[in-house]
Amino acid sequence: MSISKQHEIHTRRYGRNVGVGLLLAGFIVIIFGLTVVKVTRGDYEPPLGEASE
Amino acid sequence: MSDASADSASLAPEASFGDFFALLKPRVMTLVVFTALVGLLAAPNPVHPMIAFASILFIAIGGGASGALNMWWDADIDAVMKRTRKRPIPAGKVTEGEALGFGLALSGLSTVMLGLASNWVAGSLLGFTIFFYVVIYTMWLKRWTPQNIVIGGAAGAFPPMIGWAVATGGVSIESVLMFCLTFTWTPPHFWALALFMRKDYDHAGVPMLTVTHGRRSTRIHIFVYTILLAILALGAGVTSIGGPVYMAISIVLNMMFVKGAWDILNRDEEMSEVDNFKVERYFFKLSLLYLFLHFGAILIESVTQHFGMGGW
């Protein structure tokens, strides 16, 4: 048997890795979107020291 | 041990992405998303679309996480029941440890993220819902009391309250009434199912009302809860989440539902066996429509209110 032959388990692992990768990318997009919304709406107020700098 | 046996042993159980997704109980998740969205939109305070989207997503993930933890704890009875035999753990696709880790990680993530995305009242409510469903219902009461369905229904009833809390940052009579709608709907819905799916629960050793108190008592319970549900559903119609559309839909549905419960009450086992539980099956299907249309009507009222119509 060739060592490069694709076993069914490799396909499954590949699918899982792609899924996790897409989820992480989606999570980053959501965090970024939330941050933009919260900062532009004025929800976030920097501490006084930082604001005066 | 030969090479071949070592190879097959090491490759045997490895879950796919879909197996982990199945742990989240996607069908239950759709109900959670729908009712939470209705709760969020019915609230008087507008929510930024991005915050609304993220909040609903984290509520859905929290609901899914509690489903995964429920499957972890109930793997032994899932393996016995026909309806649940093919779930990822009894089917050998996901190990119990993986399900536990997955459920705990998602529970923590969803609760913290909902708190950060919206407010901590909503985050705490989600955390409490997961705790209630997993610890109070699944671990403690499900195998101990025939009122398990009533208690489990409370966990399923929280999402609209959480959605409302995302928008308002609190709890009010309207959100409590939306909670009551699902809470009092769950017992007649599941007991009707238990009347015609009795063997599954018997085999699993879960104390269903049909077994512990008898089928006659179950029919009475269905009727009593249906009356209570009708009062609460119509009561919700006179608050700010109701309106003429909701009231019209609710009156028709409640008349049909009470009639169905009355028919179930006036039947005995012989009559049910003859027509293979026709009335009970009809009542079960009607119950699905009942909940969907009630929340749909609340959604219609809230959307039309944004255009200056709807509501009282």
Residue B178 pLDDT exceeds 50: yes
Do the Cβ atoms of B117 and A34 come within 8 Å?
Answer: yes
| Residue A20 at interface with chain B, using a CB cutoff of 8 Å | yes
What confidence tens digit (pLDDT) does each residue in B213-270 have?
Answer: 888 999 999 999 999 999 999 999 999 999 999 999 999 999 999 999 999 999 988 8
Whole-number pLDDT of residue A51: 56
Higher model confidence: residue B91 or residue B197? Answer: B91
Break chain B into its structural domains and give their ranges: 16-170, 172-312
pLDDT band at B9 (very low <50, low <70, confident <90, very high): very low
Do the Cβ atoms of B17 and A20 come within 8 Å?
Answer: yes
Which of chain A's residues have a Cβ under 8 Å away from the Cβ of B59?
none
Q: Which residue of B has its CA nearest to A9?
A: B11
Whole-number pLDDT of residue B211: 82
Do the Cβ atoms of A9 and B11 come within 8 Å?
Answer: yes
The Cα of B54 is separated from the nearest Cα of chain A by a number of Å equal to: 7
The Cα of B303 is separated from the nearest Cα of chain A by a number of Å equal to: 23
Interface of B with A (CB under 8 A): 11, 14-17, 20, 48, 50-51, 54, 57, 116-117
Which of chain B's residues have a Cβ under 8 Å away from the Cβ of A18?
17
Q: What integer is the mean pLDDT of B36-56? A: 96
pLDDT band at B5 (very low <50, low <70, confident <90, very high): very low
**ipTM here:** 0.78
- The CA-based angle B214-B200-B19, given to 5 degrees, is 145
pLDDT band at B307 (very low <50, low <70, confident <90, very high): confident
The Cα of A47 is separated from the nearest Cα of chain B by a number of Å equal to: 18
When the pLDDT of each residue in chain B is averaged and rounded to a whole number, the result is 91
Whole-number pLDDT of residue B3: 47
Query: What residues in chain A have per-residue pLDDT under 70?
Result: 1-5, 44, 48-53
Whole-number pLDDT of residue B37: 97
Residue B89 pLDDT exceeds 90: yes
What confidence tens digit (pLDDT) does each residue in B111-170 have?
Answer: 999 999 999 999 999 999 999 999 999 999 988 998 888 988 999 999 999 999 999 999
Distances (CA, A) of B152 to B8, B103, B156: 41, 18, 7
Do the Cβ atoms of B14 and A13 come within 8 Å?
Answer: yes
Q: Which residue of B has its CA nearest to A29?
A: B54
| Residue A5 at interface with chain B, using a CB cutoff of 8 Å | no
- Cβ contacts below 8 Å, chain A against chain B, sum to 29
Option in A7, A15, A30 nearest B16 (CB): A15
The Cα of A24 is separated from the nearest Cα of chain B by a number of Å equal to: 13
CATH class of the structural domain B16-170: mainly alpha
Option in A19, A20, A37 nearest B50 (CB): A37
